[in-house]
A and B are shown apart, each in its own frame.
Chain A
Amino acid sequence: MIKLGLRTRPSARAIASLLALVGGGAIVVGACLPWMSYFAGLIPLRGIIGLNGRLLCAAGVLGVAAAGPLARARPGRVRHVTRAGAAALGIAVSAAAVWLLIGVRELTEGRAAHSMLAPKPGIGLVVVFIGGLLLAIEALVGRAVGESA
């Protein structure tokens, strides 16, 4: 029983770390992917052309960086803070992605959309949103492991 318990705990910890790694990576990739495009996809506009994309990219890097402490740190303050920070980061990124997706919708489908350009939404912000969710879910997995693990 004890042996099984010891094997289970590192596995759950590894999942939390992996979620942070994949979530952060997805945020970085999403920031670099097109958020929208002119001419229905011919001219992509990548997120990192602006401040918002660069900030999200930085948030993704932080998420990736959190994977290390989540995998290695012993139960305690460091891991708790890392887990909570990554979760907060994930929630903030997801909220920002939703807000920006609304903006993309306004630019591409609303009255502000310029007909001559035929702007269309890109995949980038969706990837950012998924990455944020993964970061937030990491906290749930971490919580399942428990601070005593």
Chain B
Amino acid sequence: MHRRLFTGPLLVAVACGLAACGSDNTNAVGPVSNGGILGSTPGWFDGDVVTFDYTAQFECKNPPSAGSLSHCELGDTAQSMPHANTAIPVLYVMTPLGFMPPDSTLHCPTAGNCVTHPSDVDVSRVFGPGTERNPLPPHSHIIIDPMNHMTTPWVLEVIGVKDLATWNDIAATENLAEVRRLQLADPGEQHITGDIETNIFLFFKVR
């Protein structure tokens, strides 16, 4: 992945420090067999803050139409699902767009604090010196079912929030019903986007 460039004002010779994805259909390991917990993050559930205990790295299922070798795409559902004893629940990832909400309302204020997330991404290959440690976007989580507090795969759906007022509304209510109300009241997606499907799975149990 390392590539040396020509010498000139625009030259960039920085290795891509992103975490590598596998070349198989999935890019990460499945749930750990010993039930070990890799780390935890907060999440919102029905007006309360709960804790997610992660038991495995994330996993992506590659849809046949995906040209990307990363095997993860937004806006497309997975063609194959991880093994699960029940229907796979949805983890809604609330992502602020174009503003920075208070850290207290972010479950992953910096991705480095989130288990299975990298701390930053090296994009200097394209953007040049000074962007070796480009921070990842912060976000928060909402679920609608604790799944009996058992470890299960969760499929991610991303919802973008476009202004602080809308974000604060969601953070104050801490449940998906308010998100749905806001989405219904905003068909033009001026303040909040619709659900953006992914083929990304996380493995955790709700505490």
Which residues does A use to contact B, with CB under 8 Å? 35-36, 38-40, 42-43, 45, 47, 49-53, 55-56, 92, 96, 99-100, 103-104, 106-119
B124 touches A115 (CB 8 A): no
Query: Are B1's CB and A112's CB within 8 A?
Result: yes
Beta-carbon nearest neighbor of B6 in chain A: A99
In the assembly, what is the distance between CA of A38 and CA of B118, in Å?
A: 13
User: How many Å lie between the Cα of A36 and that of B67 in the bound state?
Assistant: 16
Q: Hey, which chain B residues are within 8 Å of A117, CB to CB?
A: 121, 136
Query: B residues near A, CB below 8 A?
Result: 1, 3, 5, 8-10, 12, 16, 18-21, 23, 27-28, 58, 60, 67-75, 95, 97, 116-118, 121, 123-131, 134, 136-137, 158, 160, 193, 196, 198, 200
Residues on the B chain within 8 Å of A38, using CB: 136-137
Chain A residues touching B, majority SS: helix
User: Could you list 21 examples of A-B contacts with CB < 8 Å?
Assistant: A39-B196, A43-B95, A50-B126, A50-B127, A50-B131, A51-B127, A53-B128, A92-B8, A104-B126, A106-B3, A107-B125, A109-B70, A110-B1, A110-B69, A111-B20, A111-B23, A114-B18, A115-B60, A116-B117, A117-B136, A118-B73
By beta carbon, the residue of chain B nearest A110 is B69
Which of A35, A100, A106, A118 has most B Cβ within 10 Å? A118
Cα(A56)–Cα(B8), bound, Å: 12
